[in-house]
């Protein structure tokens, strides 16, 4: 039998090990056809480093749990093909930027989700479950604006890509503000003014510098910068009307 280890194409993969004071460690991983970055991490965990900590669940780009920095860019690893991102057969995989590192590739997502709550990301209903459903026209411009932002999978890729999040710890970030934008445009929300109040605080929508890194990296094609710009206009108009 031929020794495949000699002829097999290998990837040189650097993976972050440890917490904040950790370091990159290099692994050699067999190259496979249609291999994703998550496949690479899983191979390392199963074959070379059983103690490697990382998160994943659905493997099909729905749950938003497997995001990591791949060669310096935040990406959803389950839908990122090695062929598209490997540079000279090399990969550098690190935990998401702008979040505290817990261990290896797992970050503490608490600050990310706490900011969703701070941005009043919870829907306040206008009706109870005992009332008929509110008729909402999909042609309504506000509904169309909300629809453009509702497919967020909470992967925190935009949060990791945003420079302002890195500079200002109080900044709510693109995902939370995008969520607020969808609620501010939702005619079924009972306290849309409350959303505008929440996002016009220090660290809210007016902190955004419009770099557009969130749009550039969002894996599901949402445009948080457009939503944040919309919130800026909406809060200004509410202020002029004396509602804020």
In the complex, the residues that contact other proteins under the rule CB under 8 A are: 69, 71-74, 97, 148, 160-161, 163, 209-213, 215-217, 223, 225-226, 229, 232-233
Between 121 and 227, whose beta carbon lies closer to other proteins?
A: 227
CB of 210 to other proteins, least distance (A): 5
CB of 232 to other proteins, least distance (A): 6
Between 52 and 161, whose beta carbon lies closer to other proteins?
A: 161
CB of 209 to other proteins, least distance (A): 6
Between 193 and 229, whose beta carbon lies closer to other proteins?
A: 229
Between 43 and 67, whose beta carbon lies closer to other proteins?
A: 67
CB of 217 to other proteins, least distance (A): 7
Integer Cα distance of 123 and 197 in angstroms? 15
CB of 199 to other proteins, least distance (A): 15
Between 8 and 216, whose beta carbon lies closer to other proteins?
A: 216
Between 42 and 149, whose beta carbon lies closer to other proteins?
A: 149
Q: SS3 sequence, the chain?
A: CCCHHHHCCEEEEEEEECCCCCEEEEEEEECCCCCEHHHHHHHHHHHCCCCCCCCCCCCCCCCCCCEEEECCEEEEHHHCEHHHHCECCEEEEECCCCCCEEECCEECCHHHHHHHHHCCCCCCECCCCCCCCCCCCCCCHHHHHHHCCCCCCCCCHHHHHCHHHHHCCCCCCHHHHHHHHHHHCCCCECCHHHHHHHHCCCCCHHHCCCCCHHHHHCCCCCCHHHHHHHHHHHHHHHHHCCCC
């Amino acid at each position: 039998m031929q020794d495949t280890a000699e002829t097999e194409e290998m990837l040189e993969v650097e993976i972050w090990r440890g917490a904040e004071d950790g370091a990159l460690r290099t692994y050699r991983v067999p190259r496979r056809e249609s291999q994703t970055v998550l496949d690479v991490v899983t191979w390392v965990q199963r074959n070379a480093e059983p103690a490697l900590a990382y998160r994943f669940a659905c493997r099909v780009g729905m749950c938003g749990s497997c995001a990591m920095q791949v060669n310096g860019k935040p990406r959803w690893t389950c839908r990122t093909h090695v062929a598209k991102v490997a540079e000279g057969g090399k990969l550098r995989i690190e935990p998401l930027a702008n979040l505290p590192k817990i261990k290896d590739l797992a970050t503490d997502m608490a600050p990310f989700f706490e900011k969703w709550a701070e941005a009043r990301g919870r829907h306040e209903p206008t009706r109870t479950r005992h009332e008929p459903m509110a008729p909402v026209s999909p042609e309504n411009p506000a509904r169309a604006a909300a629809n453009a932002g509702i497919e967020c999978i909470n992967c925190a890729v935009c949060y990791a890509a945003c420079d302002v999040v890195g500079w200002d710890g109080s900044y709510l970030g693109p995902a939370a503000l995008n969520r607020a934008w969808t609620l501010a445009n939702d005619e079924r929300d009972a306290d849309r003014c409350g959303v505008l109040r929440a996002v016009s605080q220090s660290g809210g929508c007016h902190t955004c510098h419009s770099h557009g890194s969130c749009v550039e990296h969002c894996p599901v094609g949402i445009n948080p910068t457009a939503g944040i710009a919309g919130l800026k206009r909406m809060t200004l108009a509410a202020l002029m009307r004396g509602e804020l």
